Structure 1
Amino acid sequence: MMEKKKVLLAVSGGIAAYKAATVASRLYQSGYEVRVILTHSAQKFITPLTFQTLTRQEVYTDTFEEKEPSVVSHIDLADWADLVLIAPATANVIGKLANGIADDMLTTTLLATKADVLIAPAMNVNMFNHPAVKKNMETLAAYGCRFIEPNEGLLACGWIGKGRLAEPEELIESVHDYFNEKNNEIKEPFKGKRVLVTAGPTREELDPVRYFTNHSSGKMGYAIASAAKKLGADVTLVTGPTSLQVPEGVFVENVTSAKEMYDKTLSHYSQQDVVIKCAAVADYTPVTVHANKFKKKNDTWTIELKKTDDILQALGERKEHQILVGFAAETEDLETYAKDKLARKNLDMVVGNDVSKEGSGFGSDTNEIVMIKRDGSMKPLPILSKEKAAREILNEVLELMGR
């Protein structure tokens, strides 16, 4: 880093406070100047001495402890920070900040700062989903605060769901990304390039109330579209039905069936420089679509299916100047099937992932991938967030474009 950036780490009272020690340590090791605020409740989980040792800085715990007579501590700290990271952010702290309550060192400082604020919530899944908490987060987002989404999994309370504090690596990456954006350090290697991404599942209608689909959430494709846009690309996202928010600045084509995705993708294909086909498209669709709800008659129901048009095959056959990337989601013999798809469908690169592995399947926030190029080179990656995996995929695309 060209100059030391100043990060104020605010730690509130949750069991995830222990992760904040790793965050403080790694930020310091990365060249940031780090100061820490601990709430009274946070000190029940971790001590000020821990953070003082890791950051080589005084730790702030009490609004009324004015060690330097020439300044008012919480105002001085608010003015000092280039960025504030609240991790973990409890429901209590989120509620206070959303409603302008300033009754301790953390909240008085946050109310006074003009620095941007990153908030990493951590709490029980039911608390996280409570309408009051959701409303408070929406209020803070409207004020300009950015949120680092919690992860899903086993929580300290015994519940399973969304509410685990993001891992230290994700928090640190969010800080890096913030300063990269702020200082215009992110270059735009895709500037002037058109990138098309397909994402999500398709639905093949059987009757007005039933359809065939798959477990794809669309998260990987949306992450690629978002990353490509941040890298300067003109992005078109052809997406099946998902509950995800379209990344800002991305042109979206919403489709439902495999036929609709085929038509929309091919209609844009000739204008694209890069196509990344990430969608999980149905291989088969019902021969007969019933106009009315099919009534239960017998103990069995035989449904005849026919093949859908192969989008990736069609793109490979029509490929001219485009870089074409496909995905191979497998449950066995990943390398064999991925290499076969690469060759058969005239791809420049295939991204393989074993969806039977924990943390790499449909709907997860992480992925473990291997990237295989036409020249035979392979690049396996460990489990990463889908946002990080998206960046890695686009880095390989850039190398292909350079060739």
Structure 2
Amino acid sequence: MEKITLDNKCILVTGSAGFIGSNLVKRLFHDVKGATIVGIDNMNDYYDVTLKEARLKELEQLVPEGTKYVFVKGDIADKTTIDGLFAEYKPAVVVNLAAQAGVRYSITNPDAYIQSNLIGFYNILEACRHSYDNGQSGVEHLVYASSSSVYGSNKKVPYSTDDKVDNPVSLYAATKKSNELLAHSYSKLYNIPSTGLRFFTVYGPAGRPDMAYFGFTNKLLKGETIQIFNYGNCKRDFTYVDDIVEGVVRIMQGAPSRNIGEDGLPLPPYAVYNIGNSNPENLLEFVNILQQELIRAEVLPADYDFEAHKQLVPMQPGDVPVTFADTSALERDYGFKPSTTLREGLRNFAEWYKKYYMN
């Protein structure tokens, strides 16, 4: 592994107005000295744009002295925009978090996934490749978001990065697996150090409103019924956003080594890791904790009748019954294992929700 110093470097974060992206930029402001941090986001309306704008506004107020922060409203699927960014800022570390997210949305809106997750990622890879042109030092490490969705309906748990993942059950999962395949070929052909991160059900304050914990809260507040899929028998490896960001920051600083194989050609400096809590929670238990924390934060009244607003329904297309991360490689190589409990994470979310929407 090659150690990488982030201080005084240019770091490009795509999807920087997103949930994970904005939290990562915030963390880089805190940890990294003298850096130029460039964020790009297309600010699409897949979910409430005002939430993305609020995240950006918070970032603008947090820029520390000595750090240069640039935000570009643009789309990674636009090759000219990406090539221009690389030409102007010459990023040393690239973190690609821009993607069209969500399993169910991919069933009805496939075009968004092809544009962002395939064409957009290809543009990033090409820009990384050409960053070495004419003897330039180029990109030292490309870190990109994959997803636990690539495991599909694998029966073996916990999910290991050594598992075969050739049978995606959603287009979203197929695009994320494609990212890993593309990154591998570019790492092999052009010696680009790349690391893919398979995130497991990320949640927390100012998260994505399409995620269950957020959507449930919105519905309960309106007195609507929440649907719990697979009759509550789904299990999810819920991972708190701060744990995800901690993992990303550590991995940014340790790139796969560039080595030459027996054939005299480069061995691909390529790696993939799971980042998950390794503690799958039953959806019914998750809903119980969520309702307790919503009452505690005074988002909902103490006498709220949850039973009247709960409906157990069958599995949805593209969903899987369980997600469970094997994080032994992350622990071995980076000395880190996510550990935030579901109660702690949902408490932080409930308190944020109260403050953001109800004060």
Q: TM-score, normalised by structure 2?
A: 0.36
* Higher relative contact order, structure no. (Cα contacts within 8 Å, ≥ 6 residues apart): 2
Larger Rg computed on CA atoms:
1
Higher strand share: 1
